[in-house]
A and B are shown apart, each in its own frame.
Chain A
Amino acid sequence: MHLHKYEKIWLGFGVFALIVFLSVVGVSAFHQGHTPSGGHMTIDPENVRGTAPFDEPGVHQREDGSYEVVIIAKAFGYEPSEIQVPVGEEVTFTVTSEDVVHSFSIVETNVNMMVVPGQVNHKTHTFSEEGSYLIVCNEYCGSGHHFMSTEIEVIGQ
């Protein structure tokens, strides 16, 4: 098969780009331990409030000093509605839905995950600045979707 000189160049460019992109994903997953936020834990969506840790939604401090925020997403809001976490500490958000598919996205951070009924999703984040952060649902969940938001207060220690 004869290949034009230019064809060889752009095929090489494509193969090189593919190798770079896949390497970045591979290093991020296997070396830095980045995982998808879901797919690890399941829950009975009919009995969210009777299943730990969702029987006590809110901010909990773990034994190692980090924080866990347990949140139930529902049409059309998040429970608890007031969340306060300290700045500079590792905070893990543990979220599930008791009705339909929602999402949990903290604006201007990397926290942005699906909230699927029957699945428990996690995302760990360390806030480096104090302030009020907006949380929105970015997955269309019904007629009140555009009202579905809350705020998280990041306070100094």
Chain B
Amino acid sequence: MEKKNQPQPSLKGTFISVMAVGIFIVLMWVSIYLLYIARL
């Protein structure tokens, strides 16, 4: 059984890692898209 008032786990490191991966994917996507637009 879970207790109702469990302390919140610290997800700061997870948050930074997830955002870093997300920003990397977005930057790659945008740079390839701009390359495509430039060559139209």
Interface residues of A (CB under 8 A from B): 4, 6-7, 9-10, 13-14, 17, 21, 24, 108-110
Contact = CB atoms under 8 A, between A and B. Distances in A.
A109 B35 CA distance: 10
Contact of A4 (B9, B25, B26, B33): B9
Interface residues on B, range: 10 to 19
Contact of B22 (A13, A109, A110): A13
Given A4-B9, A21-B29, A10 B39 contact: no
Contacts, number: 26
Contact of A6 (B11, B26, B29, B39): B11
- What is the predominant secondary structure among interface residues of chain B facing chain A? helix
Most chain A CB within 10 A, of B14, B18, B33, B36, is at: B18
B15 A9 contact: yes
Contacts of A109: 39
Q: Which 9 A-B pairs have the closest CB atoms?
A: A6-B15, A6-B11, A10-B18, A110-B39, A4-B11, A109-B39, A13-B22, A110-B36, A17-B26
10 contacts: A4-B9, A6-B11, A6-B15, A10-B18, A10-B19, A13-B22, A14-B22, A17-B26, A108-B39, A109-B39
A59 B9 CA distance: 67
Contacts of B19: 10, 13
A92 to B, nearest CB: 15
Given A6-B14, A7-B11, A110-B40, 13 more contacts: A4-B8, A6-B11, A6-B15, A9-B15, A10-B15, A10-B18, A10-B19, A13-B22, A17-B26, A21-B29, A108-B39, A109-B39, A110-B36
